Amino acid sequence: MLGRRDFLKLSLASFITLVAPSREIFARVNFSEGSATKGIIFLVGDGWPLGVMKVMTEFMTMKFKEESNLSILLRNLNTRVLLQNTSSLSSVVTDSAPASVAWATGSKTVNRSLSSLPDGRKLTTIFELARQKGIAYGFVTTTRVTHATPAAWYSHNPNRDDEDNIALDLLNSNVMVAMGGGDRHFNGTIRKDRRDLYGMFREKGFRVVRTREELVASLNDENPILGIFASSHMSYFVDRVNDKRLRESEPSLPEMTAVALQKLSKNKKGFILQIEAGRIDHACHSNDMYGAMMDCYELDKTLAVILEFMEKNPNVLLIVTSDHGNSGYGINGTGPEYNDSTEALLSYNNKASFEYMKRLMRGQDAKNIRDIFENYTGQKISLEEAEEIYRKLNEKKTVVINDIWYEPDYTMGRILAKSVYKYENENLFKPAIERRGNVGFTSTNHTAEDQIVIIYGEQIPQMRVKSHIDNTELFQIICNYLRIYHINPKMKKEEAIAFIKSITKEEWKKHLELHIA
């Protein structure tokens, strides 16, 4: 019978089979025994509903013939599973910024804001508190490094969309590691103010890397590292697996995590590493079932790296969680007595994300759109369905109906989940006239359900943790573990409502264009 360490090696081996260039990074990364005094690893699946986790574990079991690392972690006696409330100060449905602020500061703020209250008071973040104690800190993400989830831990900007200035906050944050996408906010030829932030980071002693090859070359560098591997967000994992150019140029989340842990754990006073599988959220917004599932698979392989590190460094506490739900992602029962459900689920076999397909579809007629869709999804569709995709791709949005912001993404997700059954005399008949997938969505927006929190470490049996918490309480768990004491100011919801009413329609319109469109 395989031990856990043996399984982790096999888990990473299966990942390397998909992403062959990663073999070089994993071969050269070395996790020292007991290198860190204490550490926090905070793994975020952004917009990661339980439905995505369920789909991933079923695909891993039935199609990939693997057991998920999440399943192994959940069975461990040193694991606690909690639920957290995610509401923000301004809404029962949060966006990523105040959700991450809650973890980083222990205080709630309004949607759109980073670590500050609506009245302008700044909230001291866990990174800033770590700096005072000599603890090393950093983050890796598959989004832009200036995006809401990592930015809330180092920036006090009241507007999460002000990413050019948030990049300057990162420059002054004293992080040891920052890796992800976002060239547009660092490149002097693209930034509106033409400031060369890469040069400014180098002047501060950072090793700046832009490709996987440069990341490999930096492995033995003692300097802090800024890794920017894409113009905007990094590519979806399904696209990196299937596009050789992307696979060879962009490192994976497990690779970035391995490099970050090697670097941060050398600090004898301890470390904090935030890791974000950020594009699960984007795929859910797009109702892209397979894209979300594959980015969750990448998160699961990142967990293999973390658990291997923790085998050698038991003084580390792992927190795995999500900031909010997204779009009502869920497996729907289908067919008589729901017995077509498994077959329908396993019919998904996409070779690209909707994002990737849309780039190819632009400028094409309906017939070519049908060919592209069928090639990358393996599903035959009618010309009428292709024409609907064409219309949604090209029409100018003048109204939003039923909170469907993302098109033609929503249409493509609905088409992939189509079923037609004969129904007579209150009976449903097999076989289906037409049967595709069965993952459905309620909208293209965030949702309000409580989110799972998984806490793992050898110290768990001694920890007193409630089974249902507010997201702000994770800040206190981190502080207690690192022996940090700090209480940030709070604001009441009534005070926040007055602030929201003061925001002009023009400001909200700009926010929606930047964040949602």
The residues annotated with a catalytic role in the active site are 96
| Cα–chain center distance at 291 | 12
CB 117 within 8 A of CB 98: no
Is 58 annotated as a binding-site member?
Answer: no
- In the chain, the amino acid numbered 31 is F
> Which two tokens mark 270?
């301890």
Is 511 annotated as a binding-site member?
Answer: no
Q: What is the DSSP string of 68-121?
A: -HHHHHHH-TTEEEEEEE---SS-SS--HHHHHHHHHHS----TT--SB-TTS-
CB 464 within 8 A of CB 66: no
Is the Cα dihedral 178, 182, 185, 187 positive or negative? positive
> Which two tokens mark 488?
């940030």
Residue bearing tokens 């560098």: 221
| Percent helix, percent strand, percent coil in the chain, to nearest 5 | 45, 15, 40
Is 281 annotated as a binding-site member?
Answer: yes
Is 324 annotated as a binding-site member?
Answer: yes
Is 276 annotated as a binding-site member?
Answer: yes
Question: What SS3 state is found at 458?
Answer: coil
Is 282 annotated as a binding-site member?
Answer: no
Give the span between the Cα atoms of 110 and 499, in whole angstroms.
9
Is 323 annotated as a binding-site member?
Answer: yes
CB 277 within 8 A of CB 299: yes
The per-residue b/e assignment along 131-154, b for 16 or more CB within 10 angstroms, e otherwise, is beeebbbbbbbbbbbbbbbbbbbb
Q: Parallel, antiparallel, or unpaired: how do β-strands 316-321 and 451-456 relate?
A: antiparallel
Give the span between the Cα atoms of 261 and 36, in whole angstroms.
10
Q: What residue numbers does the annotated binding site for Zn(2+) cover?
A: 46, 281, 285, 323-324, 446
Binding residues for Mg(2+): 46, 147, 149, 276
Numbered residues of the known binding site = 46, 147, 149, 276, 281, 285, 323-324, 446
